[in-house]
Amino acid sequence: MKRFVIFLACAAALAAALLLPSLGAGRFVIVMLTQLAIMATFAMSYNVNLGQTGLLSFGHAVYLGAGVFASLYLITAIGEGTVPLPLEFVPLGGALAGFILAAIFGLVSVRRAGVTFAMISLGLAELFVAAAMLFPSVFGGEQGVSTDRMVDYSLTGMGYGRPQEIYMLVLVWAVFSVAAMVFLSRTPLGRLANAVRDNPQRVEYLGYTPYWIRFAQFCIAGTFAGVAGSLFALTYEIANAEVLGLRTSANVLIATYLGGITYVLGPVVGALVVTLLEINLARLTEAWLFYYGLLFIAIILFAPRGLTGILMDTPDAVRRAGWGGLAKALLRWVPVVFLIAAGSVILVELCYHLSNSFDPREPLKLFWTEVNAQSWTPWTVGAVMSISGLAWLAVNRRNAAPRRAQKGGTS
C-alpha cells in the first residue's frame, strides 16, 4: 500500500515535471524546476556517500565544480568545432571530470570513515579551492569562466537557447542520473556499502575490503556530482571558483539531510524543499539563510530521519493514536510551535532591519502590519511570545516525561 502510494507520487511528480512547460508554465517556474533538477541530482550523489556509505563529506562541491568547469570548456570547444560531440552529451564530460577527481582524492581519503574522513574531505576541498584561486587562467578569477551553449552541433537539431529547451535536457539527464543511483543502491555494491556504513569491521570478516567499497561509492558520488555540475554549466553558462567552496558543500549537505538520508529518494525531497525555500523565502525575507539553518538544527535534534521520515511516519502515528489522539497532539503542540516560531521571526526581522537595512528609522513591514523597529513595543511582543512559547514547551515536555517512563522507556 505504502509502496504503491510512493510509486504514484513519483509518477505524478515526473509527469508534472514533463508537462508543466507545455501547459504554458511561466519562465519563473521553468527556471525553478531547472534549479530543482540540478539540485536533486547533486543531493542524490551526495547521499551515495552520506546515507548509503556513511561518509560525511564537507567537500562535495569540488566534484560538482570539476563537472562545471570541464563542461564550460567542453561547450566552448564544441562551439568552436574542435570537439565533435553533440551538446546533449556534455554531461558525459562532466561525469568523467568528477570521476577522475573523486578517484584521486578518494584514494587518500576513504581509508577511514567517520570524523577522520569528514576532516580529510574538508582539507582536500579547501586545498582544491585555495589552489583554484591561484589559477585565474583556468578558473577565471572573480568574473569566472563563461561560455555560450548556442552551438550548432546537437543531436536533435534543437538550439537549446530558450529556458524550456535547456530544461528538457536537464530534466532528462537528472531523471536518468537519479534512476541510475537508485539502481546502483540495489546492486551488490550498493548493499555492501550499507553494510560498510553499519559495521565496517564485520564486512572485513565476510571477505570484502571496506576500503574498496568506500572507494567505489566515493567515485560514483563524484561522477554524478560531475553530471550535476554539467547541468549547472549548461543552464547558467558561467561559474567562478566560488562554486567549489564550502558554502556549496554545506548547502548540499543540508538539503540532503533535510530530505532524509535513510531514504533512497530522500535527497530529492530535500532538494525540492530547499529550492522552494531558497526561491520563495528569499523573496520574503533577507534573513532566510538563518531560518534555513534553524530548520536544519531542528531536524537534527528532533527528526533525524528528515522530512521524508516525518512524511512516512505520520500515517502510522495517526493509525496508532486515532483521530482523537491526533487532535489532542495538535492542540498540545501547534500553539507552542506557533508562539516560538512567530516570536523568533519577529525578533529576527527586527534585528535584521536595525542592523542591515539602509535606514533603520523606516517602518518595517512585518506580517500584515508596519512597525517601528526602534520602539520597544514590537521587541516586547516578540520576546514575550518566544519566552512564553519556550515555557509552554518545557511544561509540555515535563508532562510527557513521566508517561514515557511508564511505558518502559521504549521510545
Partner 1 sequence: MSVLSIKGLHKNFGAAKIIQGIDLEIEEGEFHAIIGPNGAGKSTLFNLISGQFAPSSGAVTLHGSRISGLRPYQINRMGLSRSFQVSNIFANMSVFENLRCALMWSRNVGYCFWRFASRCGDIDARTDSLLEEIGLTARKTDMAGNLSYAEQRALEVGMTIAGGASVLLFDEPTAGMNHHEVETFAAFLRKIAKGRTVMMVEHDMNVVFSLADRISVLVYGQIIATGKPEDIRANPAVKEAYLGADA
Partner 2 sequence: MDTFIFVLVNGLLYGMLLFMLSSGLTLIFSLMGVLNFAHASFYMLGAYFAYQLASFGSFWLGLILAPLLVGCLGAAIERFGLRIVHKHGHVAELLFTFGLAYLIEELVRLIWGRQPVPYRIPESLDFTLFSVSGIDYSAYRAFMLLIAVAMFISVLLLLKRTRVGLMVQAALSHPDVLWAMGHNVPRLFMLVFGGGVALAGLAGVIGGNYLVTEPGMAQQMGTILFVIVVFGGLGSLLGAFLASLIIGITQTLMVTMDGTLTDLITSLGGAAPHATGMFREIWTIAPANLAPVFPYLLLVILLIVRPRGLLGTRES
Task: Point out which residues bind partner 2 (CB under 8 A).
Answer: 54, 56, 58, 108-109, 111-112, 114-116, 118-120, 122-124, 126-127, 130-131, 133-138, 246, 250, 253-254, 257, 287, 289-290, 293-294, 296-297, 300-301, 304, 348, 351-352, 355-356
Binders of partner 1 among residues 200 to 229 (CB under 8 A) are 201-209, 212-213, 216, 220
Alpha helices in 237-305 (DSSP H): 246-259, 266-276, 282-284, 288-302
CB of 118 to partner 2, least distance (A): 6
Nearest to 83 by CA among 139, 153, 137: 153
Residue 368 CA to residue 340 CA, distance in Å, equals 19
Choose from partner 1, partner 2, none: what does 70 bind? Cβ within 5-8 Å by kind: none
Q: How far is the CB of 302 from partner 2 (least distance, A)?
A: 8
Give the count of residues interacting with partner 1 (CB under 8 A): 28
Q: Binder to partner 1 among 146, 262, 372, 396 (CB under 8 A)?
A: 262
In terms of CB distance, is 149 or 197 closer to partner 1?
Answer: 197
Binding site partner of 331, from partner 2, partner 1, none, Cβ cut-off 5-8 A by kind: none
Residue indicated by cell numbers 509518477:
11
With respect to partner 2, which residue has the nearer C-beta, 22 or 411?
411
4: CB partners within 8 A, 6+ apart: none
Q: Find the largest Cα–Cα distance for the chain.
A: 74
- Check binding of 199 to partner 1 (CB under 8 A): yes
- In Å, what is the CA distance from 207 to each residue of 109, 189, 200, 213? 22, 13, 12, 12
The three grid cell numbers given for residue 16, joined into one nine-digit string: 508534472
Note whether 21 and 164 are within 8 A (CB).
yes
Burial of 352 (0-12, 13-18, 19+ CB in 10 A): middle
Place of cell 496508532: 320
Eight-state DSSP code of residue 280: I
Using CB under 8 A as the binding rule, the residues of this chain from 175 to 194 that contact partner 1 are 183-184, 186-192, 194
Q: By C-beta, is 74 or 231 nearer to partner 2?
A: 74
Give the binding site for partner 1 (CB under 8 A): 183-184, 186-192, 194-195, 197-199, 201-209, 212-213, 216, 220, 262
